[in-house]
């Protein structure tokens, strides 16, 4: 029963990080859009790499933002695989 409660605790932590980090980025973006004093905060979110105005205008510069997002995704996915492979699951 202890293993089950430990797995439940880990699962809650994974859900907290999985939902909490994007929510935190979204709240920071909302705060940055509220006024000029907080405008600097918009550069601390991953959402700043998705320029919707350039996408709508079909600007060729969008490809650099897409490459940056793809690199971030690949690095995070690879990191997740490495961490998962190091786990010792006793079945």
Instruction: Give me the percent of the chain exceeding a pLDDT of 70.
Output: 84
For residue 30, how far is the Cα from the chain centroid?
A: 16
- Write a three-state SS string for 1-22: CHHHHHHHHHHHHHHHHHHHHH
Q: Is the pLDDT of residue 2 over 60?
A: no
How long is the chain? 91
pLDDT at residue 33, as a whole number: 83
Rounded alpha-carbon distances, angstroms, from residue 43 to 20, 49, 62: 18, 9, 17
Q: Is the pLDDT of residue 80 over 70?
A: yes
Q: What integer is the mean pLDDT of 76-81?
A: 88
Q: What integer is the mean pLDDT of 31-45?
A: 82
**Model confidence over 3-34: pLDDT tens digits?**
555 556 667 777 777 788 888 888 888 888 88
């Amino acid at each position: 029963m202890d293993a089950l409660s430990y797995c439940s605790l880990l699962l809650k932590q994974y859900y907290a990080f999985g939902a909490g980090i994007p929510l935190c980025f979204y709240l920071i973006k909302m705060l940055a859009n509220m006024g000029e004093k907080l405008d600097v905060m918009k550069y601390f979110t991953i959402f700043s790499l998705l320029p919707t105005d350039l996408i709508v205008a079909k600007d060729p510069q969008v490809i650099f933002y897409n490459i940056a997002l793809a690199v971030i995704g690949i690095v995070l996915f690879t990191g997740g695989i490495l961490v998962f492979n190091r786990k010792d699951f006793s079945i």
